A and B are shown apart, each in its own frame.
Chain A
């Protein structure tokens, strides 16, 4: 080993200065080679430093190769300087071999990667690409901004639509709640009967009225089976008539239901409407029944109680009026018989007392008769409804009933044409007879009564007028005279009990009309009454 090394480093040769002695070449060579060597050390150092800092670059390892090869070159120049004075040409050769290998290798690799190096885009291309990318990025940002703006717009629109919807929903809910509360307060149930599907939608109150649980779905069958058997025909007929020939399909019904679960009988008032398919044409087909329901059981109970009370009262009044007459007649007759039995006994005073007793009894009897008439005026509120009659004919009838009195008083009756009205003819006759009778009764002494009868139309009513030229009355009593047994004049001057106008008042009220009087003492009176026009 030591041998090899010493041989390697032997210097049995002549150094280069031997050839180049005393020329200026030596310092030039030496200086240049040193400079070159220094540069050839610095350059690879820079390359390595670059390589270490930019490992990211592609093919950066080529710089390593370059570094090695340049470094080796540097060493060859170092050897050039050294061999000027020290002829270690074997060492120099070795360095050159290393340099040759590394430079060849580098050259080879360089040529090998040349295409790839060429493929590396030039800075212009890269710049262009970068600019393109920047432009694209800008465009993207612009689009983004636009998108955001659009989104914001849409969001705002959606928000306002939403706010709209919310406020509408609120309004709807308010309306719904209002409806629900009102229906609840009014105790009104709602039902909806789909005729084609045969199903019924009914709310809680309807179900209660039918005694049906809340959760069960309902069919047409359920409806009719829970109607009281006695009322089913009326219900069917009414609904069918509404489906058939009615104009708007509306109907009203009152009937009884029998609760499914509790068998309780309830009264209901139903208002409904038939909804048609193809409304308005000849071929309209009933599609749906819809309406409201009201449980009127309590109301009916009260009404029945009232009717019963009314009936009882009427019976009482009738009985009182009728049955009280007999004992009074007895008193009256007995007194008269007593009077006749003992003609000579009574002195003036006793006679007076006797007369007053008899008169009193008779008067009560007459009043009872009149009371009976009064109670019987409206016998039965439902029956004896009016019919359309010619009031002129009835006036003639009344006048013929008063014939004898007309003759007695030499009365003059002037009648204008009179209309047809809907009223029971007995009642109208009573009206005329009472009013004209009064006119005849209360005539001015020495002045034959003159009675004018006429009628004129006032909106939906006929207004009749009976005017006389009799004694008249103080208008302060214009209402009082219609009271029962109320009279303004002495019984001796003008007979009667004061029930006639009370009867007129009752009749007129029964038909929804009114009656009133105008007068001035000494100037006659005018009695007016209204009756609904047909």
Chain B
């Protein structure tokens, strides 16, 4: 499986990978470090071209160029991507994330605030795995209801 990590902070990318690996949950990673690269990847454009589409998306909200909300919008409005489970991992406090995502009226499976403690990051790894396993294969279209 392929997990798309859309995140501009390399240390966070490292921690996410570390946390997931610690879970013994094996996935290939595609990393897009700004919103536009995420767009190009999801739309199958160069330089991503042949890279397979992801099964799981871990998305930061504060991104250069295109924002996390825009990427989410793209995912939910593309029929081949709309069913993907999306986890938001952002530096803002949880209620702010809830607020931002709520305004898009788009479905998100998990909302997390990035921790500053390594131990907590490892916990997040568990949560991410759980999220994927609960939600993969479910069908959801853009514009429908509730966030997590």
Q: Which residues from chain A sit less than 8 Å from chain B, CB to CB?
A: 322, 325-326, 328-330, 332-334, 336-337, 340, 361-362, 365, 369, 372-373
Q: Name 13 extra pairs, CB < 8 A, besides A326-B91, A336-B118.
A: A322-B92, A325-B116, A329-B12, A330-B9, A332-B116, A333-B11, A333-B15, A333-B117, A333-B118, A334-B11, A340-B118, A361-B116, A373-B93
Contact B116 A372 (CB under 8 A): no
Interface 1/0 per residue, B11-48 and A, CB below 8 Å: 11001000000000000000000000000000000000
Contact B91 A329 (CB under 8 A): yes
The answer to whether residues A330 and B11 also contact, given A322-B92, A325-B91 and a CB cut-off of 8 A, is yes
Contact B93 A372 (CB under 8 A): yes
Interface 1/0 per residue, B110-148 and A, CB below 8 Å: 000011111001000000000000000000000000000
Closest partner residue, chain B, to A373 (CB atom): B93
Residues of B within 8 A of A365 (CB): 116
Contact A333 B121 (CB under 8 A): yes
How long is the Cα–Cα vector from A328 to B15 in the complex, in angstroms? 15
Prevailing SS type, chain B contact patch: loop
Contact A332 B117 (CB under 8 A): yes
How long is the Cα–Cα vector from A328 to B91 in the complex, in angstroms? 11
16 contacts between A and B (CB under 8 A): A322-B92, A325-B91, A326-B91, A328-B116, A329-B11, A329-B116, A332-B116, A333-B15, A333-B117, A333-B121, A337-B118, A340-B118, A362-B116, A365-B116, A372-B93, A373-B93
Residues of B within 8 A of A336 (CB): 117-118
Chain A nearest CB: distance from B56 CB in Å?
22
Residues of A within 8 A of B12 (CB): 329
Chain B nearest CB: distance from A396 CB in Å?
20
How long is the Cα–Cα vector from A334 to B117 in the complex, in angstroms? 10
Prevailing SS type, chain A contact patch: helix
The A/B interface has a contact count, at CB < 8 Å, of 35
Closest partner residue, chain B, to A362 (CB atom): B116
Closest partner residue, chain B, to A361 (CB atom): B116
The 3 closest A-B pairs by CB, nearest first: A336-B118, A332-B116, A329-B116
Closest partner residue, chain B, to A336 (CB atom): B118
Residues of A within 8 A of B11 (CB): 329-330, 333-334
How long is the Cα–Cα vector from A307 to B93 in the complex, in angstroms? 26
How long is the Cα–Cα vector from A361 to B118 in the complex, in angstroms? 13
Chain A nearest CB: distance from B96 CB in Å?
8
Residues of A within 8 A of B91 (CB): 322, 325-326, 329
Closest partner residue, chain A, to B95 (CB atom): A376
Chain A nearest CB: distance from B33 CB in Å?
14
Residues of A within 8 A of B121 (CB): 333
Q: Choose among A326, A369, A372 the residue that contacts B9 (Cβ–Cβ < 8 A).
A: A326
Residues of A within 8 A of B15 (CB): 333
How long is the Cα–Cα vector from A322 to B61 in the complex, in angstroms? 13
Chain B nearest CB: distance from A181 CB in Å?
55
Contact B93 A362 (CB under 8 A): no
Closest partner residue, chain B, to A329 (CB atom): B116
Residues of B within 8 A of A361 (CB): 116
Chain A nearest CB: distance from B4 CB in Å?
21
Residues of A within 8 A of B9 (CB): 326, 330
Closest partner residue, chain B, to A325 (CB atom): B91
Q: Which of B11, B15, B116 has the most CB of A within 10 A?
A: B116
Residues of A within 8 A of B116 (CB): 325, 328-329, 332-333, 361-362, 365
Chain A nearest CB: distance from B12 CB in Å?
8
How long is the Cα–Cα vector from A337 to B121 in the complex, in angstroms? 11
Interface 1/0 per residue, B91-107 and A, CB below 8 Å: 11100000000000000
Residues of B within 8 A of A337 (CB): 118
Residues of B within 8 A of A340 (CB): 118
How long is the Cα–Cα vector from A362 to B119 in the complex, in angstroms? 13
Closest partner residue, chain B, to A332 (CB atom): B116
